Amino acid sequence: MKKSKYTWQLREQSELPEEFSTILTNEQINPLLGQILWHRGIQSQEALEMFLRPTVENLYDPFLMYDMEKTIIRIQDAVAQGEKILVYGDYDADGITSTTVMKEAIELIGGEVDYFLPNRFIHGYGPNVAVFKEQIENGVQLIITVDNGVAGHEAINYATEQGIDVIVTDHHELPLELPNAFSIIHPKHPQGHYPFGDLAGVGVAFKVATALLGELPAEFLDLVAVGTIADLVSLTDENRVLVKMGLEMIQNGERIGLDILIHLAELKKESISEENIGFTIAPRLNALGRLGDAAPGVELMTTFDEEEAEQIALYINSQNDERKEIVATITKEAFELIEPTDSIHIVAKKGWHEGVLGIVAGRIMQETGKPALVLTIDDQDEFAKGSGRSVSALNLFDALSEIREDFTHFGGHHMAAGMTLPVANIQKVQEHLLNYLEINQIDLSQGQELMIDESLKVSEATIPFIQQLKILAPFGTDNPVPNFLFEDVSIEQSRQIGADKSHLKFQLSQAGAKLDAIAFQMGNQADEFGQGVTNIAGQLSINEWNGNKKPQLMVNDFSVDGVQLFDFRGKNGRQKEIPTKNTLYIYFNKESKKLIDDQATQLLFSTVEEAVAIIETSNSQQVVFVDCPDDIDSLKQITQAGKIERVYVMGISQEEAYLNGTGTREQYAQLYTFVRQQEQVDVRYKLNVVAQHLKIQEKLLIFMIQVFFDLGFVTIENGVLRKVESPENHPLTESKVYQTRLKKIKIEEFLLYSDRETLQQWLWNEEEV
């Protein structure tokens, strides 16, 4: 049995109202897709129309936001008076695009505007007193924050005391007390009634730009799409409208810098998707702020010079490549520090680059299914700084807020947090989180949830069905790519692919229908496939190659029902990793114990009945047969005992009876002649010399000498072999050692050289060898 990595949650089928079914029929939408739409809240003609064909009419009036009118009047006055305006942004993709939108909107009405993006290593996140002081001294008369500001009390108070107005535009979690700003534009303002509260920072900036310009600035929609997708906000309601129109603007627009960045990333502008933005463009923009100065991102988005744009885009690419190398190095080191059995992973090390620790924490969380905090320690061993990523079951922000006093700096939300704390408090944080899990009865052992939208037959995964799934796009938070479950399928043509064999490619087969599948980063689980009843969950796509289109499943997770047999025979098998939890290593020969690490739970028994009794009373769920038994039926009896779910067969043979055989008549004659010619032979120390002299393989020679001893042809005492002067004449077959060898050869031939399917069928059926 192979348990799934995630806890699958399969949505129940709903009986769709006749009215909605009629709407689906009129729109020619597959009923299976109708189920997905219904579960995602699209349950009326009006909702479906907005979902499928959003327009500018579906966008909300920006003046519904609290303080919007006051904000617009202040900006207009500043422009009219020729005041110097500063847009104060953030160093991520949302901050870069927010800054660009606000800057260009003010320039369009004739404003004198500059921008500043803080450096996370120098200024930290949000309004910075020293920066505000310097900018005000340089003549700034109005400050507008974008994608930050609601937590910038100190810097905003300083500016206010200097007589400088600060307009805050932000979307982050609101603190209990709002800053003393001139105005605060926030979709969730406690005194406001804006219909949609999940805008990204760039979405909020776009609303201000729309109100400021008196019309919808379509030319900014490309930036809105990039920032909104990058910030992982809910892609529903107004954000869906903005992103859908924004992607069209990218495909048809003429923002030189973005076009060149897309080209250098080897993407096709005319078919750009939210996936391209989220996994290719956004990481490049984010890399700037992770490693240093994010300002080149704004320069790229605002330039009209192709040569300059290319130089900046090349620099951004190089920064992203460097970021990937740093992430790979730290991720490897971090995984070496984690304890797999821990409920929460907290790792800290001196010298780690703080700009990428959130990515590393996310990778640990994804791989282990456990919350992770990754911290870098300063050179003085005083403070640790880093990020945490959590699973849905644990609200990391709430859990750590209970000990906020133990942090020097702290912030975040349900699934992520950033923090600085004394190194001495790291252990206390871990203990608190473990207690929090216990007190709140949070079980992390089941893994993260994987929502399954539909259960499909392989025959239902057709190109027309997959093509129609595209009407659900753009995909993102709260509107994920649908996951489908294929139950009771067979696996065919499984093979490892990739330079390091880290991926799997295979076919699902069911009732004559086939479906190609690819499982990224599952190459090390190749042995799991092709046995038992397999269930596979994943996302459907169309693979196009040389003009041919075929349905393809991108595998997210899988499970295998029933007992599994793993073939670890041969030298390659010995190098494979076997889990040790609830595992019993079984030996039939005590000499074989030295072949396996002593840390493994081992069982060397007197009788098969004893072994079965131990297994039935233990928690062992998997057994490893290290060597070959003298009686092959003992394997079957042990395998069928207890609650064994996984059986590993290594089948190491010390004697290699099948390979070496019993020896030929000529070899026995040669050995007999040699023995008769010697007064004595020290077989304890000279055996290899004798084997070389007789040109007989050493293990075979040992067996042949044992046969001679058994038949009374020689004596052996203290490792010294002597001939018997007048031995009785016996055929070799009378030797019990010889008879045992023949039986062992037969056992090894079947156990070590049968194919896995034959061995599996024998183990769980009644056939005899």
CATH number at residue 544: 2.40.50.460
- pLDDT tens per residue, range 703-737: 999 999 999 999 999 999 999 999 999 999 999 99
Whether residue 590 has pLDDT greater than 90: no
CA distance linking residue 55 with residue 697, whole number of Å: 83
Residue 333 covered by a domain = no
Q: C-alpha 124: how far from its chain's center?
A: 29
144 and 213 within one domain: yes
Flag whether pLDDT at 564 surpasses 70: yes
Question: Which tokens is 505 given?
Answer: 């490619």
CATH number for position 345:
3.10.310.30
Distance CA 120, CA 751 (A): 62
Q: Total structural domains in the chain?
A: 5
Helices (H) and strands (E) in the chain, counts: 28, 26
Task: State whether 515 and 596 are in the same domain.
Answer: no
Answer whether 631's CB lies under 8 Å from 725's CB.
no
Res. 602: pLDDT tops 80: no
Determine phi and psi for 365, rounding to 5 degrees. -60, -45
Q: What pLDDT was estimated at residue 427?
A: 95
Full residue range of the structural domain in which residue 154 is found: 57-319
Residue 190 sits in the same domain as residue 230: yes
Domain endpoint, select from 439, 463, 485: 439
Residue 216 and residue 220: Cα distance in Å, rounded? 9
Mean pLDDT score, 670-699: 94
Share of the chain above pLDDT 90, in %: 75
| Co-location of 514 and 526 in the same domain | yes
Phi then psi for residue 265, to 5 deg, are: -85, 5
Which helix or strand (DSSP H or E) is residue 78 part of?
helix 68-80
Q: Does the pLDDT value for residue 658 go beyond 80?
A: yes
Q: Give 500's DSSP letter.
A: T
The answer to the question of residue 180 being in a domain is yes
The answer to whether the CB of 74 falls within 8 A of the CB of 85 is: no
Q: Band of the pLDDT at 570, cuts 50, 70, 90?
A: confident
Whether residues 303 and 348 share a domain: the answer is no
Q: Are residues 636 and 662 in the same domain?
A: no
pLDDT at 599 exceeding the cut of 60: no
Question: Do 135 and 207 lie in a common domain?
Answer: yes
Domain membership of residue 445 (yes or no) is no
Q: Judging by beta carbons within 10 Å of its beta carbon (0-12, 13-18, 19+), is residue 722 exposed, middle or buried?
A: middle
Instruction: Report yes or no on 30 lying in a domain.
Output: no
Task: Report whether 176 contacts 212 (CB < 8 A).
Answer: no
Q: How far apart are CA 383 and CA 419, in angstroms?
A: 10
> Which two structure tokens, joined as six digits, stand for 469?
């799934």
Q: Model confidence at 144, in pLDDT bands (50, 70, 90)? A: very high
Say if residue 579 is preceded by a cis peptide, omega within 30 of 0.
Answer: no
- Closest to 180 measured CA to CA, from 201, 202, 199, 153: 153
Position of tokens 């490893």?
624
Q: Which of 616, 580, 611, 619 shows the shortest CA–CA distance to 598?
A: 580
Identify whether 21 is part of a domain.
no
**Tokens encoding 149:** 């500001």
> Does 497 lie in the same domain as 645?
no
- How many CB atoms sit inside 10 A of residue 207's CB? 27
d(CA 514, CA 320): 39
Residue 337 has pLDDT above 90, yes or no: yes
Question: Residue 392 has which token pair?
Answer: 């849905």
Provide the β-strand partners of residue 681. 721
The CB density around residue 161, as the number of other CB atoms within 10 Å, is: 9
Tens digit of pLDDT for each residue in 108-124?
999 999 999 999 999 98
Q: CA angle 498-503-504, nearest 5°? A: 115
Read off the pLDDT of residues 381-398 as tens digits, 9 standing for 90 and up.
999 999 999 998 899 999
Cis bond upstream, residue 17 (ω within 30): no
What is the structure's pLDDT at 379? 93
| Half-sphere exposure in the Cβ direction for 60 (13 Å, CA) | 21
Residue 258 sits in a domain whose CATH number is: 3.90.1640.30
Q: Return the higher-pLDDT residue of 530 and 207.
A: 207
Give mean pLDDT, residues 187-199: 96
Among the three residues 515, 542, 561, which one is the final residue of a domain in this structure? Answer: 561
- Asked whether the beta carbons of 340 and 370 are under 8 A apart, the reply is no
Confidence tier at 585 by pLDDT (50, 70, 90)? confident
Average pLDDT across the chain, whole number: 92
In this structure, of 278-287, 668-677, 760-769, the range with the lowest mean pLDDT score is 760-769
What are the backbone angles phi and psi of residue 465, rounded to the nearest 5°? -65, -45
Q: Could you tell me the CATH number of the domain that includes residue 686?
A: 1.10.10
Is residue 50 assigned to a domain?
no
| Structural domain includes residue 430 | yes
CATH number, domain of 579, equals 3.40.50
Enter the DSSP assignment of 677.
H
Q: Evaluate if pTM is beyond 0.95.
A: no
CB neighbour list of residue 76: distance below 8 Å, 6 or more residues apart: 109, 212
pLDDT in tens, 452-472: 999 999 999 999 999 999 999
What is the signed CA dihedral for 20, 23, 28, 29, rounded to 10 degrees?
-30
pLDDT over 70 for what percent of the chain?
Answer: 98
pLDDT classification of 323: cutoffs 50, 70, 90: very high
Give just the sign of the alpha carbon dihedral 574, 576, 580, 584.
negative
pLDDT category at 545 given cuts 50, 70, 90 is: confident
In this predicted structure, what is the pLDDT of residue 767?
Answer: 61
**Greater confidence, 646 or 374?**
374
pLDDT at 359 (0 to 100):
95
Among residues 561, 580, 614, which one ends one of the domains? 561
Q: pLDDT band for 615, please (50, 70, 90 cuts).
A: confident
Residues sharing a CB contact under 8 Å with residue 100, sequence separation 6 or more, in sequence order? 223, 298, 301, 302
Cβ(117)–Cβ(96) under 8 Å?
yes
Strands (E), 30-149: 84-88, 112-116, 142-146
Same domain, yes or no, for 409 and 465? no
What whole-number distance in Å separates Cα of residue 304 and Cα of residue 316?
Answer: 17
Residue 706 lies in a domain: yes
Look up residue 640 and give its two tokens.
């069928």
Residue 614 — φ and ψ, nearest 5°? -65, -45
Q: What is the pLDDT of residue 598?
A: 59
Both 461 and 579 in a single domain?
no
**Do 405 and 499 belong to one domain?**
no
Q: Is there a single domain that holds both residue 555 and residue 568?
A: no
For residue 601, is pLDDT > 80? no
Choose between 466 and 609: higher pLDDT: 466
